[in-house]
Each structure stands twice: as structure tokens, then as C-alpha cells.
Amino acid sequence: MGIVPKVSETGARMTRFNLYTGQIRKELRNKQEAALQMLEHSIHYSNRINPSRVVQISWQPRVSLYRGFLSDKECDYLISLAYNVKENSSGNDSLSEEVETSLDMEDDIISRIEERLSIWTFLPKENSKPLQVMHYGPEPKGRNLDYFTNKTKLESSGALMATVVLYLSDTAQGGQIAFPESVPKSSSWSNCDNSNKILQPVKGNAILFFSLNPSASPDKSSFHARCPVHEGDMWSAIKYFYARPVSRGNVSAISDGGECTDEDDSCHAWAAMGECQRNPVFMIGSPDYYVEKYMRNYQLLFLKFSSRPSELHFKKCSI
């Protein structure tokens, strides 16, 4: 009879131990699940757009500023990738004062940044070229403006729709974008010495400007230049969006130059009714059609006006 209590006490201890270890395992599982949820949430949240950080700072050209588009870690990561590409291609990990590096690679962080760019701009990733990381050291103050494009290219190409400049570092003085053809004319937009401080390169900020009007015609006021860097280094990443999909580094053509064919059995009847004259884009096709296809997405925006034009914020319509 004296052994029975001992067995019962041992069993009770084992029961308490199992309950305790089971509780520990449950707590560990809950912590692991919570950590996983936080990680998934951070990845999902990183691709959200915060409209309160977007400011429309010009209408001619159409220029928007997104404050804090990139995190500091994302900026540093893109710079490190540029170093790695340079080292692998030349065997030298040092960068000269002026370097352009294409980040044409499979990378999760780059993919998330590009996805976020498409969400913000309403422009498809397929219509863009890989990110180009740019590095500039101090330059002579008397140096002329470094023009990204020229009027001849702008007028003849017509394929470039928009440009996004991502600033990867702060620049003490210089390096901002100037728009000499802006409307109305202003020294704060066209003169580097008196340029608008809102365009000063700030780490994490992004500048978006369009090379085309909403009608798909070239916007000559978007003619732009980079002011010389007077102090410190300037790191930036450039993203070009085109009117048509980009493949293998080239912008696809609208037509291969071959013979046109009817895509609908009613084409002849529509042509006889005069539709070719009344609706040439639909009937015959136009380079601008492919531009307008994507520009309509940007036009479907509700503008929430504040007291000053520089504080206009974009907000997508609920339609």
C-alpha cells in the first residue's frame, strides 16, 4: 500500500512536466509565427505607397517628389551592388568620380523597389530598363550643365515616357535637376545657382517627371539637366519608363515594317463608313496610342488640392 502514493506522485510530476514543456513549445511556436508574420508584414508594407509623402511640385513639366521613397538600408544596398558589379567587371572595387552602373540582375530587393516604382507611377515594369546607379564626385563650379537628354533626341524618339531619379545619398551642394524650359520661366528651376531647394538631392527621396504630355505629345518643358556637384559625393539611381515594352535593353518597335493586315472582319465596312478619318487611332494605329494606353492610368487620379500648388497630393479615384 505504501508504493501506490509514490507512483501517483511520480505520475503527477510527469504530468506537470509535460504540461510545462507543452506550454513552452506553444510559446515558442507563437513567437515564431509572430516573427514570421512581422517579416511578411514588413515586406508587404515596404511596397505600399504613402500619398502624404508625394508632392506635385510642377505642372510644366509634370514633376512629383516622393519624400522617403527608399529606406537608408535600400539606398546603401544599391550602392553596394554597384561596387560589386564594378569589382566583378574590372577587378577593382574603387569607383572613379563619374560612374554609371547597370543593375541588370535577379535580386529580390531590386524587384521590390521596381514593383513599388510601378505602383507609384502607374507604369508597367515591363516598359522600363534596369536601374542605373550613378556616382559623381566634386566637379568644377564653372562646368556647364550635364544634360541627360537633348532636344533632338526628345523630339525624334518619343518613346521615353517618364524618368524617376532615386537619391541614394545626401549631397551637400549641387547635383540637383534643373528644367531650363519650365513654364513659367523661373530662375529657381533653370538656374543651378538659384535652384529650388526642394529639388536638392536628399537620401531616400525620389523625383518623377514625364517627358510626354497627357495627350502623348512630347513635353518640351521636360528638357532637363543635372547641375554640377560642388561638394561631397552624389549617388543616385535612374529608372527610365518607355511607351512600349523593353526587351534585351531595347525598346520594342510598334511595327516590324511588314505588310499590315485586318484584325477584324468589319474593317472594310468601317472604312467605307469613314471611320479611318473619324477614328484613325483605332482603325489605323498610331505611336501615340500605345502611350495613351498607359497615360490614361495616370489621368484617372483625383487631385486633392491644398492652399498652395506645391502641396498638391495625388490620390487614386475609387472608380
Residue with cell 532615386: 166
pLDDT at residue 154 in the model:
45
Per-residue pLDDT of the chain (319 residues), as tens digits, is: 555 455 566 667 666 666 666 676 677 667 656 654 554 455 445 678 898 999 998 888 999 999 999 999 999 999 999 888 877 665 555 555 567 788 888 889 999 999 999 999 999 999 999 999 999 888 776 565 555 544 444 444 447 899 999 999 998 888 888 888 888 766 566 667 666 677 889 999 999 999 988 888 888 888 888 888 888 889 999 999 998 888 755 655 444 444 556 666 777 777 777 767 666 655 555 444 444 544 544 444 433 333 333 333 333 333 3
How many Cα atoms occupy the beta-carbon half-sphere of 64 within 13 Å? 23
Q: What is the grid cell recorded at 156?
A: 525624334
Backbone angle region of 225, left / alpha / beta, with phi > 0 → left and psi within -120 to 50 → alpha: beta
**What is the predicted pLDDT for the residue at 239?**
95
Helix (H) or strand (E) holding 222: none
Residue found by looking up cell 526642394 in the block:
198
Residue 63, C-alpha cell as written in the block: 514633376
Instruction: In whole angstroms, give the CA distance from residue 209 to residue 66.
Output: 11
Q: How many other C-beta atoms lie within 10 A of the C-beta of residue 236?
A: 25
Q: Which are the contacts of 132, defined by CB distance < 8 A and separation ≥ 6? A: 100, 101, 102, 103, 237, 238, 239, 240
Q: Are 278 and 261 in contact (CB under 8 A)?
A: no
- Note the pLDDT of residue 145: 58
Q: Which pLDDT score is estimated for 156?
A: 43
CATH topology of domain 57-246+291-316: Jelly Rolls (2.60.120)
Determine the residue type at 14.
Answer: M
Span 102-119, pLDDT tens digits: 888 888 999 999 999 999
| One-letter-per-residue 3-state SS of 9-59 | HHHHHHHHHHHHHHHHHHHHHHHHHHHHHHHHHHHHHHCCCCHHHEEEEEE
Residue 243: what pLDDT? 86
Cα separation, 165 vs 147, in Å, equals 14
* Pure H helices in the chain: 3-46, 72-90, 108-121, 151-157, 187-190, 267-272, 275-278, 280-283, 287-299
Residues 6 or more apart in contact with residue 201 via CB below 8 angstroms: 167, 169, 170, 171, 175, 176, 234, 236
pTM exceeds 0.75: no
Q: Name the nearest CA neighbour of 46 among 136, 101, 94, 108.
A: 108
Domain boundaries, the chain: 57-246+291-316
**Closest-CA residue to 162 (of 200, 199, 118):** 118
CA 303 to chain CA centroid, nearest Å: 20
CB 300 within 8 A of CB 319: yes
Within its chain, how far is the Cα of 206 from the centroid?
8
Rounded distance between C-alpha atoms, residue 177 and residue 226, angstroms: 5
What's the pLDDT at 77?
93
The Cα-based distances of 187 to 116, 213, 220, 223 in angstroms read 33, 23, 17, 15
Q: Beta 173-174 vs 206-210: how paired, if at all?
A: unpaired
CA distance 174 to 6: 84
